[in-house]
Amino acid sequence: MPDTTHHEVLIIGGGNAGISLAARLHRYGVPDIAVVEPKDHHLYQPLFSHIAGGKAKAAEAIRSQASVTPPGVEWIRDGALVINAAANTVTLDSGEQITYGHLVVCPGLQLDWDKIPGLEAAVHSPFGASHYEFALAPKAWTLLSSLKSGTAVFTMPSGPAKCAGAAQKPMYLACDYWKEHGLLDDIRVVMVQPYPTVYGVPGVDEELNRKIAEYGIELRLDSELAAVDPTAQTVLIRNNTDGTTEELRYDVLNAVPPQSAPDWLKATDLPAAGNDGGFVEVDPETLRHTRYPNVWSLGDAAATTNSKCGGALRKQTKVLAKNLVAARKGAAPTEKYNGYAVCPFTVSRSTVVFAEFDAGYRPMPTIPKVPTWKESRASWVVDRDVFPQVYWNLILKGRA
Ligand SMILES: Cc1cc2nc3c(=O)[nH]c(=O)nc-3n(C[C@H](O)[C@H](O)[C@H](O)COP(=O)(O)OP(=O)(O)OC[C@H]3O[C@@H](n4cnc5c(N)ncnc54)[C@H](O)[C@@H]3O)c2cc1C
């Protein structure tokens, strides 16, 4: 018989969502909270783009998991393997079984390298990288900053993605670097992206298109990566509107892989039937599971309709924490998440276009009369210098 323990609140995933929620629940006086997290380190992923663009050191984006786990919250260093929500049990990789009063499922996204033939080999080859993998983000900058002429290809996948616009960020940082060093005229820059416009938020698109014209970037809209040949250094790009393909030779490739919920989560009955990405079926406003009232989800693994990002999570954490506290008292959840999301585009080495928008990609500025979607130096300082501090010191402590 497996060992069985019990926790009032069991959180699966000790990333941005799991730690900030655990800290907030603890602050609200909820007893007996445990976080299941297999990794011994915690990553601040928004800095990966800056690392790949030569504007941050890898060490700034990583801390030990022990140091971010809130005092009073138990860290179970293990992975969740099976969830049986009908029986209120979670089985861990080690075979241990845990029962719970409330379960919060937030294990983030998995990177589906194998969905594009040749992609994984390409990003590990001497000419490829991906800033969506912490270990490969410094390599992206080594390759981009060493390029003196030739072709640099950047790609964004279709389907769900962490901060989807982040696919473009190292590209602008590199272009500005090449411009500054008089190299840009000798470098062909191609951005492959699956949507009909550069991002989809009015106002933001105009700013990004202006920068794309300034740097002479070739934008392949409605297109995605179909295959990579790392030996020949070629990408096959498919246009999804007319089905045509184009083969391009690259000197540097920075690719973002397709993404989905972890396979083990897809195998549970927490996603809705037919939810391809395998995300946890929750009410997108209250974040409570639609079939299991003591199961909740937030962050990248939740089937909410917003763009998946840390900025969305900051709002979701407060909503979920308050609703879970109410549910423990037998009350109905009343707090509602409004679909807010954010994407700070690093459009140069000192400026940012700050996109804030709702689930329909309509502008949703935090400070209504300030045009934060315009390229600005102040937004750079907020994104590069202020946000990392806010993350480590306030968000992960359940205070922002
Ligand atoms: C390159 C890049 C740039 C980004 N830029 C921005 C940005 O500028 N602004 C912004 O707001 N957001 C940005 N994001 C998105 C942001 O980082 C994510 O939305 C956020 O981290 C999601 O939090 P999460 O807790 O849902 O997932 P994560 O933070 O990914 O955490 C998930 C955790 O679950 C754990 N886990 C996985 N499987 C299991 C298991 N079986 N059992 C237990 N635990 C498990 C993982 O180890 C991980 O620690 C960016 C992301 C990337 C990759």
Catalytic machinery residues: 163, 343
Contact between residue 236 and residue 228 where contact means Cβ atoms under 8 Å apart: yes
Q: In this structure, what CATH number is given to the domain that contains residue 230?
A: 3.50.50.60
Note whether 123 and 254 are same-domain residues. Answer: yes
Contact between residue 264 and residue 258 where contact means Cβ atoms under 8 Å apart: no
The C-alpha atoms of residue 322 and residue 320 are separated, in whole angstroms, by 6
> b or e along 313-335 (b: 16 or more beta carbons within 10 Å of the residue's beta carbon)?
bbbbbbbbbbbbbebbeeeebeb
- Lookup: tokens for 193: 């992206």
Looking at residue 97, its pLDDT comes to 97
Ligand 1 centroid–CA 313 distance in Å is: 10
Note whether 148 and 211 are same-domain residues. Answer: yes
The C-alpha atoms of residue 400 and residue 390 are separated, in whole angstroms, by 8
Locate the ligand 1 atom nearest the alpha carbon of residue 109 and give its number. Answer: 30
Q: With 70 as the cut, is the pLDDT of residue 42 above it? A: yes
**129 confidence band (pLDDT: 50, 70, 90):** very high
Mean per-residue pLDDT of the chain: 97
Residue with tokens 């506290």: 325
Note whether 175 and 248 are same-domain residues. Answer: yes
- Lookup: tokens for 256: 């973002």
Q: With 80 as the cut, is the pLDDT of residue 219 above it? A: yes
Looking at residue 369, its pLDDT comes to 82
Ligand 1 centroid–CA 216 distance in Å is: 32
pLDDT (average), residues 187-210: 97
Q: With 80 as the cut, is the pLDDT of residue 217 above it? A: yes
Looking at residue 355, its pLDDT comes to 95
Note whether 252 and 375 are same-domain residues. Answer: yes
Ligand 1-lining residues (CB < 6 angstroms)? 12-18, 36-39, 45-46, 48-49, 79-80, 106-108, 131-132, 162-163, 166, 262, 264, 299-301, 308-311, 313, 342, 344
**4 confidence band (pLDDT: 50, 70, 90):** confident
The C-alpha atoms of residue 251 and residue 38 are separated, in whole angstroms, by 37
pLDDT digits (tens, 9 = 90+) for 136-179: 999 999 999 999 999 999 999 999 999 999 999 999 999 999 99
Note whether 358 and 223 are same-domain residues. Answer: yes
Structure-model confidence comparison of residues 26 and 4, the more confident one: 26
Contact between residue 140 and residue 170 where contact means Cβ atoms under 8 Å apart: yes
Among the candidates 308, 323, 339, a domain finishes at 339
Looking at residue 276, its pLDDT comes to 77
Locate the ligand 1 atom nearest the alpha carbon of residue 137 and give its number. Answer: 1
pLDDT (average), residues 264-268: 97
Locate the ligand 1 atom nearest the alpha carbon of residue 49 and give its number. Answer: 1
In a domain, 100, yes or no: yes
Note whether 197 and 273 are same-domain residues. Answer: no
For the chain, what is the largest distance between any 2 Cα atoms, rounded to a whole number of angstroms?
68
Among the candidates 309, 339, 369, a domain finishes at 339
Report the share of the chain in percent with pLDDT over 70: 99
Note whether 103 and 229 are same-domain residues. Answer: no
pLDDT (average), residues 84-113: 98
In a domain, 316, yes or no: yes
- Which of 16, 40, 130 has most ligand 1 atoms within 8 Å of its beta carbon, as the pocket-test mutant? 16
Q: With 70 as the cut, is the pLDDT of residue 3 above it? A: no
pLDDT (average), residues 204-215: 98
- Which of 45, 50, 141, 380 has most ligand 1 atoms within 8 Å of its beta carbon, as the pocket-test mutant? 45
pLDDT (average), residues 42-46: 98
User: In terms of residue numbers, what domain contains 116?
Assistant: 112-258+342-384
pLDDT (average), residues 225-254: 98
Note whether 252 and 271 are same-domain residues. Answer: no
Looking at residue 370, its pLDDT comes to 84
**Total number of domains constituting the chain:** 2
Ligand 1 centroid–CA 13 distance in Å is: 9
Locate the ligand 1 atom nearest the alpha carbon of residue 311 and give its number. Answer: 11
Residue with tokens 């300030």: 370
Note whether 193 and 310 are same-domain residues. Answer: no
| Beta-bridge partner residues of 190 | 153, 218
Residue nearest to atom 37 of ligand 1 (CA): 107
In a domain, 193, yes or no: yes
In a domain, 68, yes or no: no
Note whether 104 and 144 are same-domain residues. Answer: no
In a domain, 290, yes or no: yes
- Lookup: tokens for 148: 């003196």
In a domain, 289, yes or no: yes
In a domain, 71, yes or no: no
Q: With 90 as the cut, is the pLDDT of residue 88 above it? A: yes
pLDDT digits (tens, 9 = 90+) for 364-381: 999 888 888 999 999 999
In a domain, 56, yes or no: no
- Which of 309, 340, 390, 391 has most ligand 1 atoms within 8 Å of its beta carbon, as the pocket-test mutant? 309
Looking at this protein, which amino acid is placed at residue 113?
A: W
pLDDT digits (tens, 9 = 90+) for 298-345: 999 999 999 999 999 999 999 999 999 999 999 999 999 999 999 999
The C-alpha atoms of residue 34 and residue 96 are separated, in whole angstroms, by 14
Note whether 32 and 126 are same-domain residues. Answer: no
Note whether 252 and 306 are same-domain residues. Answer: no
Q: With 80 as the cut, is the pLDDT of residue 1 above it? A: no
